[in-house]
Amino acid sequence: MAVDTGIFVGMTLVYLVLIIGLGYLGYRRTKESDDYMVAGRKIHPVVLALSYGATFISTSAIVGFGGVAAQLGMGMIWLTVLNIGLGIFIAFVFFGKRTRRIGSKLRAVTFPDLMGKCYGSPFMQYAAGLVIVLGMPLYTAAILIGGAQFITSTLQIPYTTALIAFAAIVALYVVLGGLIAVMYTDALQGGIMLVGMTILLALTYVQLGGVVEAHTALAAMSDLVPEALAAGGLTGWASMPAFGSSIWLTLVTTLVLGVGIGVLAQPQLVVRFMTVKDSRALNRAVLVGGPFILMMTGVAFTVGALTNVYFYQNQGVIALAAATDGNVDTIIPNFINTSMPDLFVVVFMLALLAAAMSTLSSLFHTMGTSLGFDVIRRTGTERATMRPIRIATVAMIVVSVVLAFVMPGSIIARATAMFMGLCASAFLPAYAHAMYSSRPSLKAAKMSLVTGAVAWFAWTAFVHVKESAALGLSNLLFGVPAVLSAPWQDVDPLVIALPLSTTALLVGWALDRHEVALEGPVEAA
């Protein structure tokens, strides 16, 4: 990026000193395993809200999805609707409070541990832990690569050095300071992101002559939609794509529903509900969380779409044509570089670095605790010990770094939506059942978890062409990139797998109740 590297290096150093300081504070306050795993269950509501939001929003949510908004338009705002409505309001009010209360009562310290204890089943803990240990490194590697690419381009240092240094700094405070360090640093990072996005929105509208003027100019550009996108159903950047078209299906099923619903059963987010001492803290966190997410994805998607106006007015091209090598991920950085004052470019770069670090630290912590506590040591009722969990965290970090070096780029681009889809399909019905039933059915939960995971994998590997073509399994077995044709190959795996896993839960529950009715009253497990 074309900004004064000296200023950026100076501000980055100040930022890193603050991060290391907060990490050290977390380390000092981590006296026992509950501190390491669930931050001692006494986190401040504002820290919770910022940490939840900063973990939720990665660099790819701002730069990647902002770039998608530049390509597909303002319809992405529906993802913000779900991010706030489901990801904050429903998540905190309807899931968070019960998760906190039940988690505290059962002394659960991780998401798999919560599932295992709710169902009285080591299988549930082990299976959930395994899904995390196997699936999350993919997502983590994608965040690592995004962060390293960004550091390489801003600081002009070799990619390998950037990736290893990035992972090492985050690893240092995660491994030593546990969840307290993660959440304290998240809160600072969330604050920086909030400042960056607020300035970005204001400067964009100033640059384009005002709110109404900017939107009117964008709406007037509908005849500039490239032929290929128009054929796919794009009608403009201030209107929804044609109903049922290929672009509409991608926008609605993958981006809005896939990512919007997927966030509800993310283990690294669910564990945060167990870090506060009472429901009052969750009530207060809702007040901060809603506006925070609006200022993250709402701003990213709005500014993303509006970059079309800026590039058209200043360079005579649409945003997609202004992207470097046609890569939509470069649209937001290119827009910031060419349109914003130098000092803001530096602030925005720090915001992106903060977004990457906050998501990465939470993933490191969740993977480490899942491997060290749920998968390797899964006796359920015993308390966690910190040393093996720290070693497991280091092991998972090393795996993620290695994956980041070897994974193909085509899969990396899909990793976020894939992991969210997998989590929601496998966990969401069983998690909701555990939270809302006084006698949750283990049979129903097992059926749901297995059905969700298998259906998600089958649709991902054989039908949803964006992933199946990259994975190559369908081609290997059937000689075609996807076994079903359009429109099915544009429908996200979550839209198929989640209803199936929900149905499996309901069927399993009904069967279980039927058996209990036949056997007579039985004491709850």
Partner 1 sequence: MFGITDPAIWVGYLLALVFTLACLVYGLLNWNNGVEEQRDGS
Residues that bind partner 1 (CB under 8 A): 73-75, 77-78, 80-81, 84-85, 88-89, 93, 97, 101, 104-105, 211-216, 218-219, 236, 238-240, 277-291, 294, 298
Residue placing its CB nearer to partner 1 in the complex, 42 or 378: 42
* Residue 58: DSSP 8-state: -
Residue placing its CB nearer to partner 1 in the complex, 149 or 283: 283
Rounded-to-integer distance, Cα 226 and Cα 210, Å: 26
Residue placing its CB nearer to partner 1 in the complex, 90 or 203: 90
Residue placing its CB nearer to partner 1 in the complex, 240 or 375: 240
Q: In terms of Cα–Cα distance, which of 59, 10, 128, 13 is closest to 330?
A: 59
Strands (E), 98-176: none
Q: In terms of Cα–Cα distance, which of 520, 401, 385, 287 is closest to 32?
A: 385
Token pair recorded at residue 412: 């990396």
Residue placing its CB nearer to partner 1 in the complex, 286 or 407: 286
Residue placing its CB nearer to partner 1 in the complex, 215 or 365: 215
Residue placing its CB nearer to partner 1 in the complex, 37 or 218: 218
Residue placing its CB nearer to partner 1 in the complex, 242 or 483: 242
Nearest distance from C-beta of residue 280 to partner 1, angstroms:
4
Nearest distance from C-beta of residue 80 to partner 1, angstroms:
5
Nearest distance from C-beta of residue 319 to partner 1, angstroms:
17
Query: Residue 216: enclosing H or E segment and its boundaries?
Result: helix 211-219
Rounded-to-integer distance, Cα 19 and Cα 172, Å: 11
Nearest distance from C-beta of residue 294 to partner 1, angstroms:
5
In the chain, count of helices (H) and strands (E)?
27, 0
Long-range CB contacts for residues 339-344, cutoff 8 Å, separation at least 24: 339/203, 339/204, 339/207, 339/310, 339/314, 340/200, 340/203, 341/203, 342/3, 342/4, 342/7, 343/7, 344/199, 344/200, 344/203
Token pair recorded at residue 196: 């960056």
Query: Residue 101: enclosing H or E segment and its boundaries?
Result: helix 97-106
Q: What does the radius of gyration of the chain's CA atoms come to, in whole angstroms?
A: 23
Nearest distance from C-beta of residue 87 to partner 1, angstroms:
10
Whether the CB-CB separation of 146 and 163 falls below 8 Å is answered with no
Contacts of 66 (CB under 8 A, 6+ apart): 300, 301, 303, 304, 331, 332
Residue type, 408: P
- Report the Cα 356 to chain-centroid distance in Å: 11
Residue placing its CB nearer to partner 1 in the complex, 36 or 292: 292
Nearest distance from C-beta of residue 215 to partner 1, angstroms:
3
Residue placing its CB nearer to partner 1 in the complex, 282 or 482: 282
Distances (CA, A) of 28 to 32, 177, 272, 310: 11, 8, 20, 49
Residue type, 291: P
3-class DSSP assignment, residue 480: coil
Rounded-to-integer distance, Cα 132 and Cα 61, Å: 21
Residue type, 241: P
